[in-house]
Structure 1
């Protein structure tokens, strides 16, 4: 585990990425991020939540996707694919995003990860995850709500890139297992302070019409 410490995460030193690179198997293979919910694509909903985070305007935003690149690029943000093909899971998207962050000038210190299918994420997600890492030594913070963990709503130090690459090279793919190895700090977003559906994600086509904000 890397021991170097970075300054506190801020909108200026953090790359914010929406993960949209899955196969959408439970939706029949459609590109989940481009499916409509309440008249907008899921990725558009997620971008709106990302841009409205209460820690201030994000200066570095991108989308991790593996198909329909032109449609995602039309949203006005950089888009990149997994380095290794084969839809091996969200950690591949996180790795490619960390690699992308290293190419920025100056390179960013953190990666804020948000899934593209969770359109009601709290607007203080970034600030609370950043605040936890500012007061508690560690390289990763992730959301937990009402006892359920949400490992893909997380803030990661860029120092974890080598650890993640080694984890994937070993054939492992489970997000939460890797985060636990990284000694993740879980941050609670419980009701009634937060809506019960704050971390609801959309797994089926029926969800797109059945779920609505509280």
Structure 2
């Protein structure tokens, strides 16, 4: 029986935050990755976190931690995705999100899965009025082995991976759901929205 396996990417260097591990940036008393985990985990059958540093801190959120292979260490999001290859089965579906999206749509998975199945796609990713969000792609796990050849060829973009599959985007009308904590201004914006939602 197939499962939807969730992966939270937290393996980046946080360069735009001055080298701070962005998944661990505190917002309203909780690290960004905890906010993401709380909204994401009810949507999938199981969740893994891709992390290369501060492993013990990430284990406070989940014990399911995966790190990049040495040969692909910090080679970008595809390297994090590839770390799932020994866990998933070909019939599974993988949903990827990033650790800095605490405003993530609560219906992201169900909507993308419906489109994937109804249109017989291999991959789906969200978009809004501003842009496509390739880092939140859903794809059929049977394609995960394709990532190895891409990384060996130094093709590190998610779009390189999508080019190997039948894919399409799915429109979401709330662009605030995709504000990521890539820099301190964005973190401040996220904090403001979360405070307003508490009121």
After TM superposition, the score normalised by the length of structure 2 is 0.88
Equivalent residues of 2:82, 2:148 under 8 A apart: yes
Shift of 1:26: 0.6
**3-state SS in 1 of match to 2:148:** helix
Mapped to 1, the partners of 2:91 and 2:16 lie a distance apart of 34
Counterpart of 2:46 (choices 36, 48, 60) is: 60
Q: Which runs of 5+ in 1 are unaligned?
A: 1-6
Shift of 1:143: 0.6
Mapped to 2, the partners of 1:52 and 1:209 lie a distance apart of 26
Mapped to 1, the partners of 2:96 and 2:25 lie a distance apart of 20
Equivalent residues of 2:58, 2:65 under 8 A apart: yes
Partner in structure 2 of residue 200 of structure 1 = 179
> 1:104-143, aligned counterparts within 5 Å?
109-143=92-126
Q: What are the Cα deviations for residues 169-210 of structure 1, in whole angstroms up to 9, with x where unaligned?
A: 2110111232133232211102xxx3x311011111343223
Counterpart of 2:22 (choices 32, 50, 55) is: 32
The answer to which structure has the higher helix fraction is 2
Counterpart of 2:79 (choices 92, 98, 102) is: 92
Shift of 1:41: 0.4
Counterpart of 1:150 (choices 119, 124, 133) is: 133
Mapped to 1, the partners of 2:161 and 2:91 lie a distance apart of 21
Q: Which runs of 5+ in 2 are unaligned?
A: none
**3-state SS in 2 of match to 1:197:** helix
**3-state SS in 2 of match to 1:171:** coil
Equivalent residues of 1:17, 1:114 under 8 A apart: yes
Shift of 1:147: 4.7
Q: CA RMSD in A?
A: 1.9
Mapped to 1, the partners of 2:91 and 2:61 lie a distance apart of 22
Shift of 1:108: 6.0
Mapped to 1, the partners of 2:77 and 2:85 lie a distance apart of 12
Alignment: residue pair count: 192
Mapped to 1, the partners of 2:140 and 2:188 lie a distance apart of 36
Partner in structure 2 of residue 42 of structure 1 = 32
**Is 1:22 paired with 2:12?**
yes
Moved >4 Å (runs of 4+): none
Mapped to 2, the partners of 1:42 and 1:147 lie a distance apart of 23
